Amino acid sequence: MDFDLTQYGIDVKEILRNSSVPVLYEIGLRYEKGTAISDTGALLVYSGEKTGRSPKDKRIVRHPDSENNIDWGKINMELDEHTYKVNHERAIDYLNTRDRLFVVDAFAGWDKKYRLKVRIICHRAYHALFMQNMLIMPNEEELENFGTPDYVIFNGGGFPANRYTSSMTSKTSIDVNVEEKEIVILGTEYAGEMKKGIFSIMNYLMPLQDVLPMHCSANVSDEGDVSVLFGLSGTGKTTLSADPKRKLIGDDEHCWTDTGIFNIEGGCYAKAIDLSPENEPDIYNAMRYGTVLENVVYDPETREVDYSDTSITQNTRASYPIGFIDNVQIPGIAGHANHIIFLTCDAFGVLPPICELTPEQASYHFISGYTAKVAGTEMGVTEPQATFSACFGAAFMMWHPNRYAELLAEKMKKHNTKAWLVNTGWTGGAHGVGSRIKLKYTRAIIDAIHNNDFEGVETRTDSSFGFEIPLSCPGVPSEILVPRDTWQDKNAFDATKEKLVGLFQDNFKSFEDSVNPEIIEAGPKAHKLV
């Protein structure tokens, strides 16, 4: 069946739509520099200069129909319509210079009531395979009747934006146009920009229907017990959600409707740094034919990947269909959340490995979205640094965080959902003094949540943060559950805790005018030491 893109002003002879994996492999290996096949069959690719997202180069076209809904600022930066047209034309012109283009027509969202029809137009085989992994691919009948897409992504990432055009700050630009239902990408070939662009759109559209979009993973037991896990990069969200005792709904992006949870995506996008069969067997075994491995280092002779080598980037990534995980929920739909689990990697060593939150505390920590960078991971980072990302995904949240927090609180109360804060970071001292909480202990804590083992357990109230700390947990030494007890230097703990409380308070000041007083009151209080 002939397929063309002339309606977009694109006239290229060879257009490959929803191509097979072998075809994309062959073209990628033949034409895309540095592409190879790993010893396990994964496609090894390089994204070029950009090895991660460019949040400072993402903009939203300001339009009267949507401008009052968008939380404008450093994250949601505005773009005028004229500049958007310039960038759009630039992308179209570049795509017209290519010998061949790839089109991916697929769905975002397993729930047919809310799913979007998405069209990706790109010039790299790797990009096409990446998005075919990440989206929900139509069957033959659905593809034949696909019709007009709801949103189109024009990926001209191999061509730079004009830095001298109004509003441009670099040669990279990711432009979201809500009214035209388009995304234009220039100056970056990092595939994650397409995935996150779609998530941003869902984050805008879903609240209009009283649906909560969530940057989270989710899984479900055989009995239908659903858990949703929030966490920023490095907290263990993908690792912990791939639980052999539960079915994986999805590892990154979900929505919560009046009927339950659904996954936005058809695949997983896992960090590959230090990937091992011991710690992450499910993900490790997914590194096979059809998987895209981005920016990893490998042996040129054996093609064995060295997952510990970060000489290209620390943000090494793997994209694979969710079906590559053995125990998955397909279609990616389940009931309402029984448990909300906020994951944080607290490099200060102050937060407990597990605590239970009230609904108001849950809203506070959801809006805060806390984790910490550790010393040595970035230039100039010599001690733990707090990182706050509203709703655990500020870069993709187009409404004010309070809109998402209200939806979360509403659904938690309606469905009697329990909320937990789980620290996967440090114990016995801050980074450099203490040690990382063992993964097996964190897994045991998650199991205890699912088994309702904390019901009736003796707790201690943290007088600074106000949450309840369980004093026992199956499979976890009780001596690590109360952080202050694990520090040799109690005065150092008290000072570090007070510092972290202050960081929480300083971060939340920007939200206080827009959130309910009871949420503000649920935040931590200074000068009250456990």
Closest C-alpha among 113, 114, 118 to residue 138: 118
Backbone angles phi, psi at 222, to 5 degrees: -65, -25
Q: Is 258 annotated in the active site?
A: no
The answer to whether the beta carbons of residues 217 and 237 sit under 8 Å apart is yes
Q: Assess whether 339 carries a catalytic annotation.
A: no
Please choose, from the candidates 181, 172, 261, the residue with its C-alpha nearest in 3D space to the C-alpha of residue 216.
Answer: 261
Would residue 215 show up in a list of annotated catalytic residues for this protein?
Answer: yes
* Helical packing angle, 490-508 and 359-368, nearest 10°: 80
Q: How many residues does the chain have?
A: 530
Q: Which of 130, 104, 101 lies closest to 117, judged by CA? A: 104
Catalytic residue among 58, 90, 195, 215: 215
d(CA 257, CA 263): 11
252 counts as catalytic: yes
SS3 228: strand
3-state per-residue secondary structure call for 310-362: CCCCCCCEEEEEHHHCCCECCCCEECCEEEEEEEECCCCCCCCCEEEECHHHH
Q: Which of 254, 231, 181, 269 is nearest to 420 (CA)?
A: 231
Among 35, 38, 238, 387, which one carries the catalytic annotation? 238
Say which of 233, 310, 459, 472 is annotated catalytic: 233
Given 88, 237, 254, 418, which residue is catalytic? 237
Q: SS3 for 486?
A: helix
Is there a catalytic annotation at residue 53?
A: yes
For 477-511, b where at least 16 C-beta lie within 10 A, e where not — what string?
eeebbbbeebbeeeeebbebbbebbebbeebbeeb
Annotate 119-163 with three-state secondary structure: EEEECCHHHHHHHHHHCECCCHHHHHCCCCCCEEEEEECCCCCCC
Using only C-alpha atoms, what is the Rg of the chain? 23
Determine which one of 317, 336, 450, 497 is catalytic: 317
- Residue 238 bears catalytic tag: yes
Question: Which one is catalytic: 59, 117, 127, 196?
Answer: 196
Q: Which of 50, 53, 58, 115 is catalytic?
A: 53
User: 3-class SS at 217?
Assistant: strand
Six-digit token string for 46: 């390089």
Residues serving a catalytic function are: 53, 196, 215, 233, 237-238, 252, 317
